[in-house]
Structure 1
């Protein structure tokens, strides 16, 4: 695939960000990318806490769009903004570009990337209650956050696990240089539970639709493929496991086999809630949906 070369010293990529009442997070992210030769676009879903002032002060372009799901919000953002750089980076407001990744982006050039590469995976460090979650399968964690303009798009076959997919081309992984993810709102456990209770509705509905073949996997499932292809493969196994049993299997695997136990008390809370509590609530809601549908027949 041949790609058009950009004039020397012109922006090589643009950064697109989703936001909603992110006064705690957005200033950190914007400060972490300050100095990069880039354009910044923000898709906001109705912030009222000063987020819009932060965006304006930074000089980013902003658009309002009501929120439905993350994949739909990303789809709107990528199609609304008139982005003219060769590459696009998609970030959430609770991300921070750490110094090693900043340096890679500072010296990034489209000409350095082979023409057959259309997507780049960043390595993410996830933090919970101030602690880096190093174990339980959470590090290294590769997310495709950078892709060629016009080639990457948002996977609308997902309700919750948002990911970018490619129309064509291959991917590469940046193992060095990190993207930090830390949602400070989730330090209050009631916020975390309320948020994931809402997420469990979407996840349960999505899985029921997959059982009926109303949703397809866009990404090809392959155990030894790209990080997203491996995730797609593991999801297929997950969907076939028995309800109510699979959350316990998953928690045991993450906490003991993948050594989540080494993440301390913060890790215990995180892995228990994310791997067991959340997944169990999803299974209960799937059971409720199927039970109600059975009565209606």
Structure 2
């Protein structure tokens, strides 16, 4: 276990996940900070009992504000900082890799990219172009910030090169489908704002490098801004679902895969377009 790593986690009513999360992360760090948005369940009680440092701060409206506040105000003195979510955990192989490689990192290494796999209805969503999802999750303290945007916020590294760990972290939410669809509905409203910012040309200035030749987040952002956002409303969800479910073989993920790729790859994006259509229609009627 490395004592040179601080893990920051944002939480709100996460008693279903917090024990698994903290116990898993204690295998790589003794410095776990929970920024809790005034939970009303046992999240704070459980996290405190497990030895995490808990700081409560009302939800400011977006992840970037809350996370960057933690970076600026939690007096992080370790060499490295890590971002995790309550419903995520590290595989055993990744834990060993972090504990082995982090103390031996080259001076020019500014951060580490980790592959994330999604477990949905207890099944790994391996296909549909959804895996591996490569994310910058560990960086030298003081050199990274969460970019300020409504959706798809990534850690932006101010300096240094990146390396990639070989093994995976896991996103495995234990809540039911009712909870999941409610969360996606909230995400859809944020996605509308993000797409409107793209239309106005006010997003890229705050982005990671947007290009096809960059890291995965950069390539995905380029496709979203230069291709997806240009396709007409209500047409693009169909195209995206066909791409994921048939061309990228999402149908091989079975019954859970059908639910995942349809809801996350079509329904969610159709809902985004419907909200955008409603917003623009109301603006025209005023």
TM over 0.5: yes
Shift of 1:136: 0.8
CA offset at residue 203 of structure 1?
1.0
Q: Report the counterpart of residue 197 of structure 1 in structure 2.
A: 185
Aligned-pair distance for 1:116? 2.4
Quote the Cα distance in structure 2 between the aligned partners of 1:151 and 1:179. 22
State the match for 2:82 in structure 1: 89
Provide the residue aligned with 1:128 in structure 2.
120
How far apart in 2 are the matches of 1:73 and 1:37? 22
| Residue in structure 2 matched with residue 113 of structure 1 by the alignment | 105
Task: Please give the alpha-carbon distance, in whole angstroms, between the structure 2 residues aligned to 1:150 and 1:123.
Answer: 23
Residue 228, structure 1, aligned to residue 207, structure 2: no
Q: Quick one: distance in 2 between partners of 1:263 and 1:180? A: 17
What is the 5 A alignment of 1:1-297?
A: 11-67=3-59, 68-110=61-103, 112-156=104-148, 158-174=149-165, 176-185=166-175, 188-216=176-204, 217-236=206-225, 237-296=227-286
Gaps of 5+ in 2: none
What is the distance in 2 between the residues matched to 1:183 and 1:109?
Answer: 27
Q: TM-score, normalised by structure 2?
A: 0.94
Note the alpha carbon deviations across 1:20-44, whole angstroms, 9 max, x for none: 1111111111111234343111100
Paired residues of 1:13 and 1:39 also in contact (CA < 8 A): yes
Q: For 1:36 and 1:164, how far apart are their aligned partners in 2?
A: 20
Please say if residues 7 and 29 of structure 2, whose CA atoms lie closer than 8 Å, have aligned partners that are also in contact.
Answer: no
**Structure 1 stretch displaced more, 247-256 or 231-240:** 231-240
In structure 2, do the counterparts of structure 1 residues 82 and 250 end up closer, same or farther at CA, with 3 Å as the change threshold?
same
Contact 2:125–2:257 (CA<8 Å) still a contact in 1?
yes
Deviation at 1:71, TM superposition (A): 1.9
What RMSD, in angstroms, separates the aligned Cα atoms of the two structures? Answer: 1.6
Number of aligned residue pairs: 283
Secondary structure in structure 2 of the residue aligned to 1:159: coil
In the alignment, is the contact (CA less than 8 A) between 1:21 and 1:51 conserved in 2?
A: yes
Rounded Cα–Cα distance in structure 1 between residues aligned with 2:22 and 2:94: 14
In structure 2, the residue corresponding to 1:147 is in which secondary structure? strand
CA distance in 2, matches of 1:209, 1:36: 38
CA contact 2:2–2:28 (8 Å) conserved in 1 = no
Distance 2:108 2:218 in 1: 18
Q: Are the equivalent residues in 2 in contact too, given 1:125–1:141 (CA < 8 A)?
A: yes
TM-score (norm 1): 0.91
| Greater alpha carbon shift after TM alignment, 69-78 vs 119-128 | 69-78
Structure 2 CA distance for aligned equivalents of residues 49 and 37 of structure 1? 25
* C-alpha distance in 1 between matches for 2:172 and 2:28: 22
Residues 104-147 of structure 1 deviation map (CA, whole Å, 9 limit, x = unaligned)? 1222444x222222121111111001111100112122111111
Q: Distance in 2 between matches of 1:151 and 1:184?
A: 33
Contact residue 71 and residue 160 of structure 1 kept, 8 A = no
